[in-house]
Structure 1
C-alpha cells in the first residue's frame, strides 16, 4: 500500500494528503519477481532467445544480477518483450520495473521522460555498415542513399544531425523489428545500415558467411553511454541498481569470479581481519546490505549466480560467445577502457 505524506499548502494554512508511490525495490520484494525488459524479436548478443525459448544476452545478465541482488535468485525474473518505442511507456506505467535494453543516456530522455538512468554499464557508438563491394569508405559518400535503421531509438536524431552537419542527404527508412531491419539490408533494399556499432559487428558475424563482405565504417557518429532506465524519483531502487552494476565491475577488478567466490569466501571467513573490505563485500561480515535494503549476501549471490563483469562480457559477447566481439572501450579502466565503478567503503 502506498505511503501517505502530509504536505502543507502555502498561503492557505491547510494541508493535503499526497501519495508517495512505493519504491520498485519494495514492489519486487512483495511480488517475488523482477519484471525486466526483453525484446519483441532478437537483438543478437544483448537480448535474444535460445533454442529452448530462454532469454540470454549481455543485457539479460544484468536483469539476472539485479534479481539475485534483490531476491537472492537470478531466476526470479519475468521478461516482458517490448519494442524500442514501448520501453519507456512500459516503464512509466509499471509494466516493467527496469529497462536493460541497450538504452542510451541522452539529454532529452533525462529531461522529457519520467525516467532516471543508472551509471553506464556499456559504451558503444553509432556507425554505418555497408556492403564492401560498394566501395563506400565514409558516411559522406552516402549522398542519395537509402539508410535503414531501427525505429524508436536515439539514432534517428543523430542521423538527422549528421546529415545537417556534413551537408549530405540520404533517405532514412525505419523498422520496428530487428529481423525486418536486417532482412531489408541484406536483401539490398538499403544501401547502408545505421546502428549501434557493437550490434552491427554482432549482426555481421551472425548473418554472413564471410564477414569481409560487409564493412563497418570507421567514423563513429557518436559515442553513447548505455544505462538502465528506472522510474524517476525512486532513488532507493536506482541506488540498488547502481551498486549491483558496480559490484560486478569491482569483482572483476579483484579477480572474484563465479568459480572462485566460494573458496575466497571460505578463506576470508577463516580470518576476516586479514581482509576486512573483502569480508564485508562478500557478506562474511555485516555492512554491505542494510543501507541498500538488501541482505549482506547480495554481492556473493550476484557473483556466484551471474559472474563478474568480465565473465558476463566474455560469455555473451566476447571470446566465449559466437560473436568474438573485442571489449574495446568496455575494458576496465586500468586496462585502457572506460568501465569503472564507485568505491565500496
Structure 2
C-alpha cells in the first residue's frame, strides 16, 4: 500500500453545558407565540442538503424546511422562522437557555442527551449511517488498512465518538483532525491534510459528488454507526414535543394519502376519508388538544408541503444532489418512516 499522507492533527475543545434545564408544559408554545417567531439552529457555514445559506443570507435544506413547517403550525407561516447560526457544541446550551426553541440540526437521540442534558426526542425524520471517505490513491479496501493515518472529523458531533469506538473495535490507531466549520473541515480533507474524512453518510455522499474530482475519492464499505436523526426539545414540555411530532407526522400522512401543496385545497373541499377531513380542519379536533387552530396542518401542507416535497427540494430530484430516499422513504415504499394515526 502506498504511504499514507502525513499531517499534524489539530482539535478544537468543545464544552457542553452540564446542567439540564427543564421546560414546563405549554411554556415553549407560549414563548414562541408571544415572540412571534420560531428560533431554529443553522450552521456556521453550510451543511449541504440539510442547512445551507447562500451569499444573500437565504437558508435552505431539509432541517430548515422542518423548522419552517413547525413555524407554520404554531404561527401560521414559514416566514416566521429565524435561523440562528450556531456550532455543533452550541446546540445544547442554546436549547437549554431558550435561545433556540428546537434543535433540528442533523442530530441523533442519545442516552446522555436524554439523561444528562435533559432533552427529549421526536420520531426520526431521517435515517443515515456514519461512513468514511478516503483518497483513492491510497488504495484502501477498508478503514483497517488506514492504521496510523489521519482522519478529519466534525468537532463536537457524534462522529468523534463513533470514530474512536470503531478504531478501538478494529484495533487501529488514527490521528484525528477535529474542525467545527464544515467548509474548513472539507478543505482540510480535499487538500490532503487528512487521509480520511468521517461524516454522516448523506453529507459525505453530497460532499464527494460536488467535489472537483469525485473519482479521486472513495467511500469505504465500513459502517461506523446507524443514526436516526430527530428533532430535540427540552424535557418537561410535553405539549411542545407533541406539536413537533405531529408536524412531522402530518407531512408523512399527507404524502401517504397523496396530498401535497398543489392539491390540498381540492382535498379539503372534498376529503377522501374522515382522517383526511380531520387533518385538514374540515372537522374539529386537530388543533385544540395541541393548543393550535384546527387548520394548522392544512397550513403546513399548503405553505411548506408534504415530506416528499421537502425531501425533493432539499436532497432529491429537485436539488443539485439527486439523492434517493432509501430508508428515509415511507413504510409502504421500502423505507422506515411512518405517520401516527389520526383518529
Shift of 1:275: 2.4
Please list every run of at least 4 consecutive aligned residues from structure 1 whose deviation after the TM superposition is greater than 4 angstroms.
Answer: 19-22
What is the CA–CA distance in structure 2 between the aligned matches of 1:344 and 1:121, rounded to whole Å?
Answer: 18
The one of 214, 219, 223 aligned to 1:216: 219
Give me the whole-angstrom Cα distance separating, in 2, the residues matched to 1:275 and 1:341: 16
What is the match of residue 43 of structure 1? 47
Structure-1-length-normalised TM-score: 0.90
For 1:22 and 1:315, how far apart are their aligned partners in 2? Answer: 32
Asked if 1:202 corresponds to 2:206, the answer is yes
CA deviations on 1:293-341 (whole Å, 9 max, x unpaired) are 1111111111111111111111100111001112111111111111112
Unaligned runs of 5+ in 1: 1-18, 269-273
C-alpha distance in structure 2 between counterparts of 1:214 and 1:251, whole Å:
39
Deviation at 1:246, TM superposition (A): 0.6
CA distance in 2 between counterparts of 1:291 and 1:224 reads 31
Q: Which residue number corresponds to residue 181 of structure 2?
A: 177
Instruction: Answer yes or no: is the 8 Å Cα contact 2:134–2:195 preserved in 1.
Output: yes
Deviation at 1:219, TM superposition (A): 1.9
Please say which structure displays the higher CA radius of gyration. 1
| CA displacement at 1:50 relative to structure 2 | 2.7
| Structure 1 Cα separation of the partners of residues 37 and 306 of structure 2 | 22
In the TM superposition, residue 97 of structure 1 has moved relative to its aligned partner by 0.5
Match of 2:260 in 1: 257
Q: Secondary structure at the match of 1:337?
A: coil
TM-score, length-scaled by structure 2: 0.91
Task: Write out per-residue CA displacement over residues 245-275 of structure 1, whole angstroms, 9 at most, x where no aligned residue.
Answer: 111111110010111111211223xxxxx62
Is the Cα–Cα contact under 8 Å of residues 261 and 305 in structure 2 kept in the other structure?
Answer: yes
Task: Give 3-state SS (helix, strand or coil) of 2:270's partner.
Answer: helix
Asked if 1 retains the 8 angstrom alpha-carbon contact of 2:41 and 2:86, the reply is yes
Q: CA shift at 1:201, angstroms?
A: 0.8
Contact 2:254 2:306 in 1 (8 A): yes
**Aligned position for 1:239:** 242
Q: Could you tell me how far apart the structure 2 residues matched to 1:171 and 1:219 are?
A: 18
Larger RCO (CA within 8 A; separation ≥ 6): 2
> What are the residue-to-residue correspondences of 1:323-334 with 2, within 5 Å?
323-334=321-332
State the secondary structure of the residue aligned to 1:102. Answer: strand
Cα deviation digits, residues 51-78 of structure 1 (max 9, x gap):
4321111100000000000011111011
The structure 2 residue matched to 1:122, chosen from 126, 138, 158, is 126
Please say if 1:304 is aligned against 2:307: no
CA distance in 2, matches of 1:219, 1:130: 12
Aligned residue pairs: how many? 321
- Indicate which of 48, 68, 71 corresponds to 2:72: 68
Q: 1:22 deviation in Å?
A: 5.5
Question: Distance between the aligned counterparts of 1:36 and 1:231, measured in 2?
Answer: 14
Matched with 1:343 is 341
**Partner SS state of residue 123, structure 1:** strand
